[in-house]
Chain A
Amino acid sequence: MDIAMCMRHGCVKRAALKRPKTGHSMCKECFFWAFEEEIHHTITRYKLFAPGERVALGASGGKDSTVLIHVLKTLNDKYNYGIELLLLSIDEGISGYRDDSLETVKRNELQYGLPLKILSYNDVYGWTMDSIVEKIGKKSNCTFCGVFRRQALDKGAIELKADKLATGHNADDIAETILMNIMRGDTSRLQRCTDIITSSEGNLPRVKPFKYSYQKEIVLYAYYKRLDYFSTECRYAPDSYRGHVRNYLKDLERLDPSTVLNIVYSGESLVVDSRVKRPVQRSCVRCGYVSSQPVCHSCTLLEGLNKDLPRLVLGKHNSIVNKQLLESTPFVSTTSTSSGAHRESQCSCSTGQHIDF
């Protein structure tokens, strides 16, 4: 029986794996080298970081964020990016899932010697995902979680005085998002979702160093490096719309592994007709967060939860609901939005907290 040898030029070791992305047979060490070099190439080609920047890493304890922490620390040391790495974790309040994964993040904090900040939904919004799902059932709960997490990450990164936020979104995640936006007809998101650096006025820039890395390879990297990560799917995820798309993508990958990168490439090539109406970016009149509506999605969802009408505001952003919320909003004065300035406004959620942006 022929033994597969590592295909890297000059390497004489036996192959330990076959790369899903390129089909090359490789030994472990050469795989680590190739994986890290590709991410370094992405970082330098797209100029993701600048020396002196403070970069918050979204850390969930899962494989993507654990590998992100490990690889960025390795590359930062090896290639002298000159960046300061910080860990930021969000506790959505999902018992049996998030509480366990947070223990992993706390171990990561010690293993890598990086400062960690944990922000919980309960602190920011006065709700946990468990209490939200109890109220709304198992449909559309990913909508709440996604919207809330996005804002919570921005809030946490600002509190850490970070210049950028890096997340572990990989090629499979981006391919799923592209397909979802096509299925939902969301052309404005379709145009933005392939950007490797996403930023809008007043918001912290977000970068995705794993944009071209396959999920399977991230798993292989974490496995062979024996990294400490938490590997369980969110118990509310299987019933989500994204779950359908994820299964379709997995089936596509089984037929032909190149479909993942093909979808990312196709998404990058799409051009939306200029005559298609696009949302105008503005700031939420309640919390100041960037929004395409007068009241942002997060405040709208919270309003629905607090008024015991969570389903009223789900689905496409309802202009009538938004108008009603706007009419019930007290006048809020805002300070200048130039960088470094501080905006304060009163949110209508039940905590009565001031949300600072």
Chain B
Amino acid sequence: MKYIETYDLPLTILPIQLALSDPDFSDEDDLSKLSDEKSAELRDNLNSCSNSSKRIQLLENYRRLLLIKFAKYMNINTILLNDNMNNQSSSLLTNMAMGRGDCLPNSIGFIDSRCDGVTFLRPLKCLLHKELSLYCDLYKLKYCPEHVLNNGDSILSLSERFLSELQCEFPATVSTVCRTGDKLTSSETVDCDEMNRCRLCDTVIIQTDSLSAVDAMRFSLSLFDEELSLDRICYACSQL
């Protein structure tokens, strides 16, 4: 925090459990009370995830929700994110492995416009981690290593390791993966009301009665009288 404070910009720190409610950001007492109340719920939600990959994804969803809530309160319509080429390429593979192919253009693209009124931008997405480190060294910018939720046993850490090992043998790997992501577009239609969006990640819920892997999974579960329910939640978030 002391590094951020040197820039003399307004700074707000919010506990992530506030994403689980509709807080009044103007009332500090209310925020503090909600934060205590919701921490148990947050813990339960995270514990109900069957592996660390799902926990990381769930936390990422909550972080995004909280940023949107606060941005709307502050009348902010653009949020800049610090994603670089290395973590975008790992995110691409991770999102593929978690069934998030339909929201790839938003989740790893330059613009994430899933939410009305708040747009996320990724101005650093064309820069490698190495380039950013060099920039910081040249301009003597102080920074602390990113807080990594990854404990080494997740799809994200596996994807990072895979890409960095492959990058040694094929140096264009990371940039090629990112470029492939840039060539993708969303299948969303322009008019899309709230009912058709996932309540966790705002992705448009694609009609899954159509022929797809979801249809195949639905059939496999129906053989055992089980259902795959996708009511106001996308396929990927339904697995969290």
Interfacial residues, chain A to chain B (CB-CB below 8 A): 7-9, 21-22, 24, 34, 37-38, 41-42, 45-46, 171, 178-179, 181-185, 187, 190, 196, 211-212, 244, 248, 251-252, 255-256, 258-259, 261-274, 276
Give chain A nearest CB distance to B161 CB in angstroms.
9
Pick the contact of A271 from B100, B184, B211, B225 — CB < 8 Å? B184
Report yes or no: B216 in contact with A267, Cβ–Cβ below 8 A: no
Pick the contact of A21 from B51, B97, B220 — CB < 8 Å? B220
Given contacts A244-B162, A261-B217, 11 further A-B contacts (CB under 8 A): A8-B224, A21-B220, A34-B220, A182-B93, A184-B176, A187-B180, A252-B155, A262-B99, A268-B212, A269-B102, A271-B187
B53 beta carbon closer than 8 Å to chain A: yes
CA distance A182 to B92 in the complex (A): 9
CA distance A46 to B223 in the complex (A): 19
Report yes or no: A178 in contact with B96, Cβ–Cβ below 8 A: yes
CA distance A215 to B92 in the complex (A): 24
A-B pairs with lowest CB-CB distance, top 7: A266-B101, A262-B99, A212-B216, A265-B213, A269-B102, A269-B101, A273-B185
B136 beta carbon closer than 8 Å to chain A: no
Looking at chain B, what size class is its interface with the partner chain? 35 or more
Give chain A nearest CB distance to B108 CB in angstroms.
11
B239 beta carbon closer than 8 Å to chain A: yes
B230 beta carbon closer than 8 Å to chain A: no
The total number of A-B Cβ pairs within 8 Å is 133
Q: State whether A266 and B216 are in contact (beta carbons under 8 Å apart), knowing that A9-B225, A248-B158, A271-B185 are contacts in the complex.
A: no
CA distance A178 to B186 in the complex (A): 18
Q: Which residue of B lies closest to A252 (CB)?
A: B97
Interchain Cβ contacts under 8 Å between A and B, 14 examples? A9-B225, A171-B213, A179-B96, A183-B166, A185-B177, A185-B180, A212-B217, A255-B155, A262-B239, A263-B99, A266-B95, A266-B104, A270-B104, A276-B183
Report yes or no: A255 in contact with B186, Cβ–Cβ below 8 A: no
Report yes or no: A255 in contact with B154, Cβ–Cβ below 8 A: yes
Residues of chain A within 8 A (CB-CB) of B214 are: 265
Residues of chain B within 8 A (CB-CB) of A184 are: 176
Residues of chain B within 8 A (CB-CB) of A187 are: 180, 183
CA distance A181 to B93 in the complex (A): 12
Q: State whether A262 and B183 are in contact (beta carbons under 8 Å apart), knowing that A38-B220, A255-B53 are contacts in the complex.
A: no
Q: Interface readout for B24-50 with A: 1 if CB under 8 Å, 0 if not?
A: 000000000000000000000000001
Report yes or no: A9 in contact with B224, Cβ–Cβ below 8 A: yes
Report yes or no: B224 in contact with A273, Cβ–Cβ below 8 A: no
Residues of chain A within 8 A (CB-CB) of B51 are: 255-256
CA distance A244 to B168 in the complex (A): 13
Q: Which residue of A lies closest to B175 (CB)?
A: A185
